[in-house]
Structure 1
């Protein structure tokens, strides 16, 4: 199976004859969701299979794997984070439909499509981004940024001490003998 950069699969033969169609490829540089950009270290690889399940229904299953660069939650350093996501979706062919449309009816969800060339990038992006952790640390003991001068405490000792905020700190002057 040849890897390609175009994240689509042609389902013309599948629509006529049934069976299963397979494709694989790569996503380079980044995944994008609206204005948000999720940069990759290297490239993410993907593979999918679309199988006819009867009538105008098809089953899309696949996986996408890569390393995204996320900001460390303490020091903001780009941190390589491996992601491996699997996805499955029910598809319905509706001739003449110009774009893929998500439908949710009762307890059934499916994507309707009308063109033989199915753009896989939205499916790949959703699976990849959904699998990303909310935050990451560059290392377990990351010291973060200094709140006074902004220096990366993992690289330099700026000499600033963090302020200790304790809810009972104001009471220390009330009872000096304790």
Structure 2
């Protein structure tokens, strides 16, 4: 499949004639949320469909799939993690509106847009990042980092023993006579 390297869909024809508009493409290198970067292994592919549902309302549905590098929760090694996310949003066309604006009225949620050229990157980013797992392990038996010297225990045996604190250790200072 030949993917476009843009994250936009032109809805001019859909706004005039109704029906459904489809697009697909890729996101290269990384997703960004503010200053935080989520690096990709290769590219993340996406596809969307926008359908007219009457009046100035449209239904956006799509999916985005790729492999993101996340830090292992034990050793901090960059770990490739597959992510496949689906998303659906109600859109409302408001001519002349600049950008995309989220509205929440009672139980009604929608995104308003005013230009026929709709930027999909915010929708793709939100779906992808929301679907990422909270933590990952580079491998099931990851030994993690040494709490004494910081060495990666998967690569070297630093000789330090992990101290297992006794549950009543804090009471020792409170009751010195015991």
Q: Which residue of 2 aligns with 1:5?
A: 5
Q: Which residue of 1 aligns with 2:56?
A: 56
1:86 paired to 2:86: yes
* 1:3 aligned counterpart, secondary structure: coil
User: How much does 1:168 deviate?
Assistant: 2.8
The separation in 2 between residues aligned to 1:157 and 1:53, in whole angstroms, is 63
TM-score, normalised on structure 1? 0.94
The separation in 1 between residues aligned to 2:2 and 2:146, in whole angstroms, is 49
1:111 paired to 2:131: no
1:24 paired to 2:28: no
Q: Which residue of 1 aligns with 2:150?
A: 150
**Alpha carbons of structure 1 residues 164 and 174: separation in structure 2 relative to 1, 3 Å:** farther
* 1:4 aligned counterpart, secondary structure: coil
Q: Which residue of 1 aligns with 2:100?
A: 100
Runs of 4+, deviation exceeding 4 Å: none
Structure 1: runs of 5 or more not aligned:
none
TM-score, normalised on structure 2? 0.94
User: How much does 1:163 deviate?
Assistant: 1.2
User: How much does 1:2 deviate?
Assistant: 3.8
Residues 38-90 of structure 1 deviation map (CA, whole Å, 9 limit, x = unaligned)? 00011100000000000000000000000000000110000011000000000
User: How much does 1:174 deviate?
Assistant: 7.5
* 2:150 aligned counterpart, secondary structure: coil
The separation in 2 between residues aligned to 1:165 and 1:85, in whole angstroms, is 41
The separation in 2 between residues aligned to 1:119 and 1:2, in whole angstroms, is 20
